[in-house]
Amino acid sequence: MTDFFGTMRRYLLEYLPKQKCFSKNTIRSYKQALNLFVAYLRTVQKMSVFKINFEAMNRELILGFLDWLETERNCGANTRNHRLMVLRSFFDYAGILDCTHIVLSVTTKKIPIKKVPQKVVPHLSEKGLEILLEQPMLPKKTELRNQFFMILMYDTAARVDELLAMKVRSLRLDVAKPIAYLHGKGNKERIVPLLDRTVQHCRNYLQKFHPNEPPDSEKHLFYTVIRGIQGEMSPDTPAEFFKKYAKTGHRESSEVPEHIHPHMLRHTRAMHLYHQGMPIMLLSEYLGHASVESTKIYAYADTEMKRAAIDKADIRKHKESSPESEWFNDEETILRLAGLLD
């Protein structure tokens, strides 16, 4: 095995899972990208495995791979950019192990990513959210569960996997400031505060679905019962009831999209918090993003935000004159502000 593949092995089996603490899904996507790169070298460049080494790597080879992704495999700009980022990361690691490979790290960094048209993140309006949460047919037990799932997902801006992984002990309600513990990507834990109304929903849910469980119970918060056996809820379950409630909600109002996937509630919470003025850095931490770059998809101004900003700035529209500064005719104050007087 060449040094190239030996480094790749350490990168996939040691560096990503043990040092970077990446999730299995993330590591799988990195592995797929590297497999494609090797496949390109073998099939298009006609390089045998024994000839693939760091000395053979150069800018033209990497650019050829990226072009091949777009022209032969019909990959979009986002996929192309992801493959490039994986190569950057791999060559960075190679440079850490052997300084002679640093030039490859620099080379990949000088290859620009392709600009992708900014897309509006699909999310619900406040009215649409309200209608969606009214769709479960209470007091049916499973419908109450579904409603609580949606309420907790919105309040915590959790991913589906994070909610399904929650245990009873993940809710801390008997404290001054109730919180929820979420385990996100890379097994990173974050703490999310709960609203008072959400705490009440939590108590009602626990009373009906975990009536005899102690607060430190390891049982899953959300579960299904099949043939009398209680088991962990599958992601298919929320996907199905979101689909059902989207249809009934859309018939009631166009504010509810006809098709809703669970992750849209996470987007909705993020957009609502951003509209309400939460700083992007704090929003990034709240969502559990590894980088604030991931959060910037929410940082756009919609029509209403633009209109509010214009109204606020348009002094003439309200026939108001700019306020005159207190120091306008005060020479001494002007000199003091300029630092010329003590």
- What is the chain's Cα-based Rg? 27
Residue 320 pLDDT exceeds 60 = no
Between the CA of residue 205 and those of 10, 234, 306, what are the distances in Å? 46, 19, 40
Task: Report whether pLDDT(302) > 60.
Answer: no
pLDDT 10s digits, 234-249: 999 999 999 999 999 9
CA dist list (Å): 332 to 204, 323, 341: 67, 20, 8
In the prediction, which pLDDT does 319 show? 54
Residue 154 CB contacts under 8 Å (≥ 6 apart), including other chains: 129, 133, 265, 268, 269
d(CA 129, CA 113): 36
**DSSP bridge partners of 171:** 180
**CATH assignment, 126-298:** 1.10.443.10
φ and ψ at residue 69, rounded to 5 degrees:
-60, -40
The Cα–Cα gap between 207 and 203 comes to 6
What is the domain partition of the chain in residue ranges?
Answer: 3-109, 126-298, 309-342
Q: What is the pLDDT of residues 154-203, one digit of tens each?
A: 999 999 999 999 999 999 999 999 999 998 776 778 999 999 999 999 99
Name the band, by pLDDT with cuts 50, 70 and 90, for residue 324. Answer: low
**What is the Cα–Cα distance from 154 to 145, expressed in whole angstroms?**
14
Please give the Cα distance from 320 to 202 (Å, whole number): 50
At 299, the pLDDT band (50, 70, 90 cuts) reads: confident
Q: Please report the pLDDT score of residue 306 as a whole number.
A: 60
Question: What pLDDT sits at residue 322?
Answer: 52
3-state secondary structure 197-232: HHHHHHHHHHHHHCCCCCCCCCCECCEEEECCEEEE
**pTM of the model as a whole:** 0.66
Taking residues 92-102, report their average pLDDT: 94
